[in-house]
Structure 1
Amino acid sequence: MKSHSMVMFRRNVKHVARNPFSVFNGILMPVIVMLMFVYMMGDAFDVGVDYIDYSTPGLMALAVCYGLSGIALAVNSDMTKGIINRFKVMDVSRSAVLNGHLIASVLTNLVAVAALTGVAFLLGLDPAAGVAEWFGIAGMVVLLSIAAGWMTVAMGLAAKTPETAGMATVPLVMLPFFSSAIVPADAMGTGLKQFAEYQPLTPIIETVRGLLAGSPDGTDAIIAVAWCVGIAFIGYLWANATFKKRA
Structure 2
Amino acid sequence: MADRSVRLARRNVDSLFASILMPLLMMALFVYVFGGAISTGTEYINYVVPGILLLTTGYGAASTAMVVADDMHSGMIDRLRSLPIRGFAVLAGHVTGSVARNAAATAIVVLASLAMGFRPGGGVLDWLATIGLLLLYVLALSWLAAGLGVIAKSVESASTLSFFMLFLPYLSSAFVRPETMPSWLRPVSEHQPITPVIETVRSLLIGTPMGNNGWIALAWCCGLLLFSVLLATSLYRRQTSR
Give the structure-2-normalised TM-score.
0.96
Structure-2 residue corresponding to 1:217: 210
* 1:15-164 alignment runs, 5 A limit: 15-164=8-157
Letter in 2 for 1:51: Y
Percent of aligned pairs with the same residue?
37
CA contact (8 A) 2:50 2:201 kept: yes
> How many matched pairs?
240
- Which structure 1 residue ranges, 5 or more long, are not aligned? 1-7
Q: 2:181 aligns with which of 188, 210, 214?
A: 188
> How much does 1:160 deviate?
1.7
CA contact (8 A) 2:27 2:52 kept: yes
Structure-2 residue corresponding to 1:201: 194
Tell me, in whole angstroms, the C-alpha distance in 1 between the residues paired with 2:231 and 2:85. Answer: 20
Give the secondary structure class of the aligned counterpart of 1:91. Answer: coil
Cα root mean square deviation, aligned:
1.1
Say which is worse superposed, 10-19 or 215-224, in terms of deviation. Answer: 215-224
CA contact (8 A) 2:130 2:204 kept: yes
> How much does 1:33 deviate?
1.0
CA contact (8 A) 2:150 2:232 kept: yes
Q: Note closer, same or farther for the CA distance 1:126–1:49 as it changes in structure 2 (3 Å cut).
A: same
Moved over 2 A (4+): none
- Which structure 2 residue ranges, 5 or more long, are not aligned? none
CA contact (8 A) 1:25 1:67 kept: no
* 1:223-234 alignment runs, 5 A limit: 223-234=216-227
* 2:240 is equivalent to residue 244 of structure 1: no
